[in-house]
Structure 1
Amino acid sequence: MVSFIGMIKRNMLVYLKDRQAVIFSMITPIIVFVLYILFLRGTFVDALEKYLESAKGLIDEKDIDVFANMLLLSGVIGSSVITVSYSSLVTIVADRQAKIDYDISATPVTRVKIIVCYLIAAFINSFLISAILLTGGLIIVSLLGNTYLSFINVLALYGITLLGSLSATTILMILVLFFKTTNSAGAFQGLLCAAVGFIIGAYIPISQFITPIQTICNLFPGSHITALYRNVLLNGVIENMNSSMNGLDNGSLATTLKEVFSLNLNMFDNYIMVNGMLWYVIVIIIVALIAIAILFNKLYKRK
């Protein structure tokens, strides 16, 4: 057990002590934040005001601001669990390139423990950093207006962060196992950082794409995790907006906002709700773990 914990700690620190790795893993969340400040916020607010045009005077302007800020937070955390997981997993590639895996495989430690140590370390790193970002984001948003979040909602957000970190770590480990050099892993990281913001809908709501593209994006668990964040973060403010309408629209405003801002995901022309998203992510995690066990056994042989 001591050696097991020691390996996990070592794998965690390899990432955490590398400041460049930590910074590069935060590129996508930083890009989302910068783009939001520059023009995404204006785009989201304009889109909101368009759908709320018939409700002028009924909807509080502060609710619109909170809605836009919550969208930003969902994009930042949704991308963070993915990019931090990947950067932490690159330790596997670095160990292989430096032949450290020779030393590890020569020890009595079983292959299962080796792969589990890498997996747990990346998962913990992803959760810790994303949880810190989430906490900071919630504090800032709460200072700017009413978040309409209960204590249970806040706990749910950290639960989603746990699930998101685990799903990202398991899926990305499958890819990382095929890389033999840090250069190839770094090249893929560049592609990942560029694409993840679009795939999870951090820049543009997935609902704005044509149906086939929506389906492709929603095949990735990261889109489901981000949608789960949105459901928890936005449901309160949406319900408050809906209450402000005093039933004049028979609840159509809430339904429209949930569709437009991808609180429900469209896959193969079928909308997936919260429970469906949770089960989808859980099934993907199980499949990914099985794939990891098979691949690691073949690719990580004792020398």
Structure 2
Amino acid sequence: MKTLLALINRNRKLFFRDKGMLFSSLITPIILIVLYGTFLANVYKQSFESSLPEFLDVSGKLINGTVASQLAAALLAVSCVTVTFCVNLTMVQDRANGSRKDFNVAPVKKPVIYLGYFFSTVLNSLMVNLLALVICLGYIKTMGWYLNAGDIVLLVIDIVVLILFGTVLSSIVCYPLKTQGQMSAVGTIVSAGYGFICGAYMPISNFSKGLQKGMSYLPSTYGTSMLKNHMLRGVFEEMEAKGFPDEVVTGIADSLDCNPVFRDHVVTTTEMLVVMIGAVLVLGVVYLMMTAVPEKNQG
């Protein structure tokens, strides 16, 4: 345990010492919220307004609060995963600069070394994404606040689970990489594509039936939906208080991917959490099995 803690502290210090890695990780959520607020806010707003029945009189605050909550959930869904790929660069750097050669001759088991990378990535990513959550909450506060303390607690839990998912996924992907160029290429691909796969950039309900069915098998779909459900719970409650018909509220929730369907079954938030935890455990076993196999050319 002492060895593992020493490795975690060592990796965390390297992360803070590398100003480029630290800055890129911290700036990612800020860039995302600026881009989302600039380019996606109007798209989301127009889509939401066009879905409302004409007989409903909806306040600007409720509309803006709905859009802001949707944007914040989408941003966090992407950031929690993509940031882990940035933070996990330490694993690849150690291979590239030869630091792994020192570990290879030290009396430290190989899985312990990789668990050190894993937990340091979790802690550093948690720091970055909790900062992103604070920024998102500030943005929502200016647009339309409908959250309570319970919602925020659930959002923190969602973030922790998504970071665990992102960390184990990035650890598996980064494991065979040996150069920073390879890692940069992987990071670029993930940053560009993950937002579409998880339904952050565009609700999955807007995709074709075939794509919707295929994406219902991906854990990322339910991670994003968890965030949306907890971020928008107060908004839906306010709609009901304003006299919105139940079918209208349900229709809005469906359009925002709050009620994902798997094999004709509407997945609840509890089931979403179980799916995400199950995915973390399965991928975690895969990662441990990978690290247990001796490497032919270490370093």
Same fold (TM over 0.5): yes
Q: 1:228 corresponds to which residue?
A: 226
Structure 2 stretches lacking a partner, 5+ long = none
What residue is the counterpart of 1:137 in the other structure? 136
Give how far 1:140 is off. Answer: 3.1
Q: Deviations over 1:154-183 (max 9, x none)?
A: 111111111111111112211111212221
Rounded to whole Å, the distance in 2 between the matches of 1:275 and 1:101 is 41
Question: Would the alpha carbon gap of residues 253 and 299 (structure 1) be closer, same or farther in structure 2, given more than 3 Å must change?
Answer: farther
Pairing 1:192–2:190 present: yes
Equivalent of residue 285 in structure 2, options 287, 290, 297: 290
Say whether the 8 Å CA contact 2:28–2:83 is kept in structure 1. Answer: no
Distance 1:177 1:31 in 2: 28
C-alpha separation in 2, matches of 1:188 and 1:141: 32
Structure 1 pair 26–272 and aligned structure 2 pair: CA distance change class (3 A): farther
The structure 1 segments of at least 4 consecutive aligned residues displaced by more than 6 Å after TM superposition are none
| CA distance in structure 2 between the aligned counterparts of 1:88 and 1:299, rounded to whole angstroms | 25
Deviations 1:91-115 (A, max 9, x none): 1111112221121122122223212
RMSD after superposition: 2.2
Distance 1:30 1:192 in 2: 18
For residues 236 and 170 of structure 1, what CA distance do their matches in structure 2 show? Answer: 32
Q: Which residue of 1 aligns with 2:124?
A: 125
Change (3 A) 1:222 1:87: same
Show the 5 A alignment for 1:1-303. Answer: 1-25=1-25, 29-30=29-30, 32-57=32-57, 59-145=58-144, 147-245=145-243, 249=245, 251-300=246-295
After the TM superposition, which of the residue ranges 65-74 and 19-28 deviates more from structure 2?
A: 19-28
Shift of 1:17: 2.9
| Deviation for aligned residue 1:234 | 0.3
Q: 3-state DSSP class of the match of 1:56?
A: coil
Gaps of 5+ in 1: none
Cα deviation, 1:182-208, whole Å, max 9, x if unaligned, reads 211111111111112212222211111
Shift in Å at residue 30 of structure 1? 4.8
Contact 2:73 / 2:228 at 8 angstroms: preserved in 1?
yes
Q: Relative to structure 2, which stretch is displaced further, 185-194 or 199-208?
A: 199-208
The structure-2 alpha-carbon separation of the partners of 1:109 and 1:32, relative to structure 1 and needing over 3 Å to count, comes to same
The alpha-carbon deviation at position 87 of structure 1 amounts to: 1.3
Number of paired residues? 298
| Structure-1 separation of matches of 2:248 and 2:181 | 49
Q: Give the conservation status (yes or no) of the 8 Å contact 1:160–1:229.
A: yes
**TM-score computed with the length of structure 1 as normaliser:** 0.90
What per-residue deviation string (whole Å, max 9, x for no partner) do you get for residues 200-233 of structure 1?
Answer: 2222111111122223434433332221111011
